[in-house]
Structure 1
Amino acid sequence: MNTQEVLQHVTTPLANPAYAPVVPRFTNREYLNIVYRTDFDALRAVVPEPLEIEEPLVRFEVMKMGDVSGYGPYTESGQAIPVTFDGERGEYLHAMYLDNFAATASGREISAYPKTVGAPNLYADNGTLVGTLDYGTLRVATATMGYKHNRLDPREAEAQITVPTFMLKIIPDYDGSPRVNELVRTEITDVVVKEAWTGPARLQLFEHVLAPLADLPVREVVSASHILTDLTLAPVKPVYDYLKEARS
C-alpha cells in the first residue's frame, strides 16, 4: 500500500476499518430525556472552563437508534449538562455509554463524543417507558416515565434536542502529554420530529466507580420527554484551545 493509498484511510485497521467512511443519518431515533436538579458543587467539579453553569441541572438521556447508516441499530445513554459559552446556551456532554463499537470509535476519533462501553436499554413496560443503563452486570441507572401521557409541542421537542453541544477533544502525544486539548462545538441538523410526549418521571442512579453517574445526584426531577425523530449530526468545530491558552 503506497503513501497515497494510506492517506485515503481515516482509521485502522487499514484492511478492516473500525467504522465506515459515511456521515450517518439517524432514522427513528427515540429519546427518553429526564432533566433533574443536582448539586452546584458536583457540577463545578466536572464542567471545564470556560463553560459556565447557570443552574444545577442535568439531562439524563437514553437514545434508541432505530436505524443509522454505517452502524445499524444501537442504544446509547448518558448525561448532558446545560451550560453557556460566550453567551450561547448549550449542553456539555459529560459521559455517554453505548453498545456499538463502531459508533463508539467514530464518535471519539472523528468528533469528540465522550463515549465508552455500556449496556443501555429503552422499552415500554406495563404503561411505563423504561430506560436503563448497565455497566457490566451492574445497574447504574433506571429511568421511568408515564408512556405517552401528554403530547409535547413538536417545536418544543425540536428545541430540546437541537441546542448546541460542547465536548472536550483530547488526543495524547506519544510521550503521554496532550497533543490536542480543545473545546469543540456541534449541533443536530435536518430534524424531523415524528412524535413528542411528556409526563411524570422518576430517575434512580446507583454508585459505580467506572460509571459514576451518581456523582451528579438526583435532587429533584424537573421535566421529562419522549421524542421520536430523524436527524443528522453536524461536524464538530473547535471553539477554545486549552494548549494555546496555556502558552499565552
Structure 2
Amino acid sequence: MRIQDVRQQLTTPLDAPAFPPGPYRFTDREYLTITYRTDPRALDRLVPAPLEVAEPTVRFEVMRMPDTTGLGDYTEAGQVLFVDYEGDRGEYNLAMYVNGFPAIASGREISAFPKKLGSPTLTVESDTLVGTLDYGSLRVATATMGYKHAPVEANQAREEICAPTFMLKLLPGYDGRPRICELVRTQITDITVKGAWTGPSRLQLFQHAMAPLADLPVLEILSARHVLTDLTLAPPEVVHDYLNR
C-alpha cells in the first residue's frame, strides 16, 4: 500500500476496518431517559474546567439502536451532566456503556464519546419500559417507567435530545504524555421525533468500582421520557485545547 493510500485510511486493520466511515444514520433510535437531582459536591469532582456545573441534576439514559448504518444493532447507556460553557448551556457526556465494538471504536476514534464495554438493555415488560445496565455479570443500573402513560410534545423531546453536548477527547502519546487533550462540542440537528411519552418512573443505581454510576446518587427524580426517533449524528468541533492554553 502506497503512503498516500495509508493517509486516506480511517482505522485499522487495513484489510478489515473496525468501522466504516460515517455519517451514521439511526432509524428507530429509542430512548429511555430519567433526569434526577443529585449531590452537587459529587458533580464538582467530575465536571472538567472550563465547563461549569449548571445545576445539580443528572440524566441517566438507555438508547436502543436497532438499525444504524455501518454499525448495525446495539444498545448503550450512560450519564450526562448539565453544564455551562462560556454562556452556552448544554450537557457533559460523562460515561457511556455500549454492547457493540464498532460503535465503541468509532465513537472513541472519530469523535470523543466516552464509551466502554457494558451490557445495557431496553425492553418492554408487560406495562413497563425497563432499561438495565450490567457491567460484567453485575447489575449497576435499573430504570423503569410506566409504558406510554401520557404523550410528550415533540418539541420538548427534541430540545432534550438536541442540546449541545460537550466531551473530553484524551489520547496519550507513546511517551505517556498527552498527545490530544481537547474539549469538544457536538449537537444533533438532523432529527425526526416519531413519538414521545412519559410516565411514573424509578431509578436504582448500584455500587461498582469500574462503573461508578452510583457515585452520583439519586436524590429525587425530576422527569422521565420515552422517545422514538430517526437521526444523524453531527461531527464534533474543538472548543478548548488544553495543550495550547
Secondary structure (helix, strand or coil) at the match of 1:218 reads coil
* Per-residue deviation, residues 197-227 of structure 1 (Å, max 9, x unmatched): 0111100000011100001111111000000
Distance of 1:168 and 1:17 partners within structure 2: 24
Q: Which residue of 1 aligns with 2:102?
A: 102
**TM-score normalised by the chain length of structure 1:** 0.98
Q: Secondary structure at the match of 2:156?
A: helix
1:69 aligned partner: 69
RMSD, matched Cα = 0.7
Q: Is residue 5 of structure 1 aligned with residue 5 of structure 2?
A: yes
Q: Which position in structure 1 is the counterpart of 2:170?
A: 170
Alignment of 1:1-248 (within 5 A): 1-245=1-245
* 1:25 CA drift (Å): 0.3
- CA-CA distance at 1:66 after TM superposition: 2.1
Query: Tell me, which stretches of 5 or more residues in structure 2 are unaligned?
Result: none
Question: 1:14-72 deviations in whole A, cap 9, x for unaligned?
Answer: 11111012210011000000000000110011110011112110000000002100011
Give the whole-Å Cα distance in 1 for the aligned partners of 2:11 and 2:66.
25
The CA deviation at 1:189 is: 2.0
Q: What SS is found at the alignment partner of 1:56?
A: strand
Mapped partners of 1:118, 1:104: distance in 2:
10
Aligned equivalents of 1:21, 1:226: Cα separation in 2: 30
Identity %: 62
Q: d(CA) in 1 for partners of 2:39 and 2:81?
A: 12
Work out the CA distance in 2 between the residues paired with 1:135 and 1:109.
22
Q: Which whole-Å deviations, capped at 9, do the CAs of 1:96-139 have from their partners, x for residues lacking one? A: 00100001000000000000000000011120000000001000
Alpha-carbon displacement from aligned partner over 1:218-244 (angstroms, at most 9, x marks no partner): 111100000000011110000011111
- Take 1:225 and 1:124, find their aligned partners in 2: how far apart are those partners? 14
Amino acid at match of 1:108: R
Cα distance in 2, alignment partners of residues 208 and 102 from structure 1 = 25
Q: Which segment is superposed worse, 128-137 or 5-14? A: 5-14
Distance 1:243 1:5 in 2: 30
Q: TM-score when scaled to structure 2? A: 0.99
Q: Distance in 2 between matches of 1:216 and 1:242?
A: 26
Mapped partners of 1:54, 1:233: distance in 2: 25
CA distance in 2, matches of 1:190, 1:135: 32
Runs of 4+ in 1 over 3 A off after TM superposition: none
